[in-house]
Amino acid sequence: MAEQDVPKDWFEFMQKMWNPMSFPLPGMITPTVNIDEIDKKIGELKSVETWLTMNTGFVQMTIKTLQMQKAALESLRAAGEAASKQATPENPKEKK
């Protein structure tokens, strides 16, 4: 039976469980008491939030654009099929 990869250090294990992307969490062990540092962190996180919101908007816009392209192509395909059905006679014996 293969041995599981369990970290030897309990803190490392908990940090990976709590923060799998390994972003720095300054207040996890000892709380930060410097107000300037907290204000700086708040500003950084608000910038990240704004960036993520903007990117979410871009992704939503891209999805809507692709849905519109799909609908347009489906309608063109349906119109082409309808036109080709009208152009060809349904009963070939009627041509004789």
Give the rounded percent of residues in the chain with a pLDDT score beyond 90: 47
Residue 30 belongs to what H/E stretch? none
pLDDT tens per residue across span 78-93: 999 998 888 876 665 6
pTM flag (> 0.85): no
The neighbour count for residue 62, using CB atoms within 10 Å, is 10
Residue 2's region, left for phi above 0, alpha for psi from -120 to 50, else beta, is: beta
**Which amino acid is located at 64 in the chain?**
K
pLDDT tens per residue across span 52-81: 999 999 999 999 999 999 999 999 999 999
